[in-house]
Amino acid sequence: ETGVTQTPRHLVMGMTNKKSLKCEQHLGHNAMYWYKQSAKKPLELMFVYNFKEQTENNSVPSRFSPECPNSSHLFLHLHTLQPEDSALYLCASSQDPQGRKEKLFFGSGTQLSVL
């Protein structure tokens, strides 16, 4: 298997549920990212991990909790979400986390609906 794989593809959850999104990259990259994509809005960067260390957190609410156990895996733990958190959550990876070549490889995303 190659590329960036995200599971599940679709998720429906209530506001009191706890769930996790999973991302795995098979590209040997060193940096991994979580993005949020809402309808008609630009992609919003949520978190960046570089060699398993979180390097950026774009003022994301604490109900979103990322975890990066190694350079190939990334999780996004969700709890007590709000309906406005419904969106497509995209995972991405890149090879060159420090340089100018910020070419990202994206997964297909998890379409999240919060009821």
Structure token digits, residue 28: 């040997």
User: What 3-state class would DSSP assign to 14?
Assistant: coil
Contact 33, 47 (CB under 8 A): yes
User: What 3-state class would DSSP assign to 85?
Assistant: helix
- The residue range among 14-22, 63-71, 73-81, 100-108 that interacts with another protein, by the rule CB under 8 A, is 100-108
Q: Is 40 among the residues that bind another protein (CB under 8 A)? A: yes
Cβ at position 42, least distance to another protein in Å = 4
Q: Nearest 5°: phi and psi at 40?
A: 65, 10
Residue closer to another protein (CB basis): 66 or 109? 109
Q: For the window 64-93, what string marks contact with another protein as x by the rule CB under 8 A?
A: --------------------------x-x-
Cα–Cα distance, 29 to 44 (Å, whole number): 21
Residue closer to another protein (CB basis): 17 or 111? 111
R_g of the chain computed on alpha carbons: 13
Residue closer to another protein (CB basis): 60 or 79? 60
Which DSSP symbol is given to 98?
S
Cβ at position 56, least distance to another protein in Å = 6
Binding site for another protein (CB under 8 A): 4, 40-43, 45, 48, 55-56, 58, 90, 92, 97, 100-109
